[in-house]
Structure 1
Amino acid sequence: MHTRSEPADRDPDTSARPPLVRELLLVAGLFLVYKLGRLAANGHVEEAFRNAGHVWDLERALRLPGEGAVQSLLLHSHTLVQVANTYYATVHFPATLLFLVWLYWRRPRHYVWSRRVLAVLTGAALALHLLFPLAPPRMLPVAGLVDTGRVYGPSVYGDTPATDSMANQFAAMPSLHFGWALAVAVGLVVATRSRWRLLWLLHPLVTLLVIVGTANHYWLDAIVVTALISVAYAGLRLPGHAPVRRHLPWPAVAREAAVPAGAGAYASQALVSGTRTPPGYALPAQAPRAYARSGARR
């Protein structure tokens, strides 16, 4: 007797899938906290520019490559700059949402794990936004970088931080653009089985080049968020499979039921092969009569 198996790309442990309405509220709440938290961190202009100078000096002391090296590659092509700006403006939220939806439907256990990681990462990042306001490199005169979003379009920010009511332009440290992209890639690499699954890591790599090349983030913004997500992964383990009771055809169930606790392998073999049952053990009433007749003949 054969039973229909689950599709190869679906997690058979559907019991791990949490209620849909609750998850919709949780994810919506996560995005709302993300937006409101960034707005709450607005202001602090002098502190943000002072911190930007410190970050720039630290990067030079660490001999990190200048952000301008990436931007100069983009500026060779007007189309390439616009593609990078569009990627920065449009991929961040939709990619993360699609990732969560796919995991919820196909990999419930991985969905719960990734959602927890994203929540912890976002909370830690918002705390840093409040504690360490940071002007992005496009605002730092010493960096000598172009605000590609404002010059070439499209841009997700207002003309000045003071007039921007939709986003906090001083929330550069750490970069949630890169952090979420890294969480999406790691989640898909772990949850999928394709031999090409490591290609998902191209998403955070492209995101890193985009956020640096468009002068929206420093290298250190990505390094710090990588450290944060590493701590989150270390503290949050992937939930294990729930125990699943194996379905057996009726004769197999009868054979299992016929062996009392402690009968051992000898009694099990007696039922399967038809040999006489060991002394002190009797076949239960629900066992098939064929086994009893076979044992009696021997």
Structure 2
Amino acid sequence: MHVRTEPAGPRKGTAARPPLVRELLLVLGLFLVYKFGRRLAIGHTTAAFHNADRVWGLERAVHLPGEGGVQSLLLHSGAVVHLANTYYATVHFPATVLFLVWLYVRRPAHYLWSRRVLAAVTSVALVLPFAFPLAPPRMLESTGLQDTARLYGPSVYGPPDADHLSNQFAAMPSLHFGWALMVAIGLIAATRSRWRWLWLLHPLITLTVIVGTANHYWLDSIAATALFLLAFTFIRAPDRAGRPRAGRPRCGRRRALAPSPG
């Protein structure tokens, strides 16, 4: 008996792995846009400090916990605060790159979803500094917070007026926290391990670091979370098998599938 064999390929309903070169260019472009795009919004120093006063006042008005409480925990140990500065400086980009690489190799459908969400949120985040430039809390004297990176190292920023590699007045939203949140949610969605919820430690640690080092306000992380929730509404995640999540079946189709009487 002759058995017909089909060539190996992606299962029906799953996403094929996209071309590698194209994805490398797309992801590289995403990172370059993130890295240099915010530079276009430089030059709004007065507005950035004015908005910082407004954000700080709003946080106190709605009784958010003070960022100083988190920083005081880090400052109990020079080694801990140095580790927090190192985490801020070195984990953000590599963790996101490794996340995308793993998904590309092991979960192509989840890779496409994650890449689309990251691209959408990052694009919106690049526009916000034009409309709402914001100085980080480490620059605002009224906060009483220290610039831990400058005092304890390592620091990724130079003096704002001489820093030609980044826009330090683009604190809102915090893509440090937003990307960490995407890494955790993406891995939880794509895996089945009972330990997968531990990935939430990454955004939790990132939140502690960015607030404790006075690089971001609480509201920066809240804004990033809101952007990702909005993106999740329009860009649906596949199921863990890599199939698009089906919408609610139509009434006519339910009737067609029902067994006929008699």
Same fold by TM (over 0.5)? yes
Give the 3-state SS of the residue equivalent to 1:163 in structure 2. Answer: coil
Range with greater deviation from structure 2 (104-113 or 26-35): 26-35
In 2, the alpha carbon distance for the partners of 1:90 and 1:42 equals 24
Between Structure 1 and Structure 2, whose CA radius of gyration is higher?
Answer: 1
Residues 175, 15 of structure 1: alpha-carbon distance in 2 compared, 3 angstrom cutoff: closer
CA drift of 1:15 comes to 5.1
Match of 2:193 in 1: 194
Match of 1:123 in 2: 123
CA drift of 1:36 comes to 1.7
**Mapped pair 1:100 → 2:87:** no
In 2, the alpha carbon distance for the partners of 1:71 and 1:107 equals 38
Residues paired across the two proteins, number? 234
**Mapped pair 1:40 → 2:40:** yes
The percentage of counterpart residues that share the same residue type is 70
Please list, as runs of the form range in 1=range in 2, the aligned pairs for 1:10-49 lying within 5 A after superposition: 16-49=16-49
**Mapped pair 1:162 → 2:161:** yes
Q: Structure 1: which 4+ aligned runs deviate by more than 4 Å? A: 11-15
Q: Of the two structures, which has the highest relative contact order with CA contacts closer than 8 Å and spacing of 6 or more? A: 2
Range with greater deviation from structure 2 (30-39 or 141-150): 30-39
Give the 3-state SS of the residue equivalent to 2:27 in structure 1. Answer: helix
TM-score, length-scaled by structure 1: 0.76
- The C-alpha deviation readout for 1:216-235, integer Å capped at 9, x for no partner, is 00000000110000000111
In 1, the alpha carbon distance for the partners of 2:184 and 2:15 equals 25
Give the 3-state SS of the residue equivalent to 1:157 in structure 2. Answer: coil
**Mapped pair 1:71 → 2:65:** no
In 2, the alpha carbon distance for the partners of 1:218 and 1:85 equals 16
In 1, the alpha carbon distance for the partners of 2:116 and 2:52 equals 31
In 1, the alpha carbon distance for the partners of 2:170 and 2:84 equals 20
Structure 1's unaligned 5+ residue stretches are 243-298
Give the 3-state SS of the residue equivalent to 1:161 in structure 2. Answer: coil
- The C-alpha deviation readout for 1:86-144, integer Å capped at 9, x for no partner, is 00000000000000000000000000000000001101111112211000000001000
Give the 3-state SS of the residue equivalent to 1:76 in structure 2. Answer: coil
In 2, the alpha carbon distance for the partners of 1:43 and 1:76 equals 36
In 2, the alpha carbon distance for the partners of 1:68 and 1:180 equals 24
Match of 1:208 in 2: 207
Say if 2:136 and 2:169, in contact at 8 Å, map to a contact too. yes
Give the 3-state SS of the residue equivalent to 2:151 in structure 1. Answer: helix
CA drift of 1:149 comes to 0.3
Structure 2's unaligned 5+ residue stretches are 245-262
Give the 3-state SS of the residue equivalent to 2:156 in structure 1. Answer: coil
Structure 2 residue identity aligned to 1:32: L
Match of 1:175 in 2: 174
Range with greater deviation from structure 2 (233-242 or 129-138): 233-242
In 1, the alpha carbon distance for the partners of 2:115 and 2:168 equals 26
Say if 2:138 and 2:215, in contact at 8 Å, map to a contact too. yes
CA drift of 1:238 comes to 2.2
In 1, the alpha carbon distance for the partners of 2:100 and 2:57 equals 38
In 2, the alpha carbon distance for the partners of 1:218 and 1:12 equals 45
CA drift of 1:208 comes to 0.2
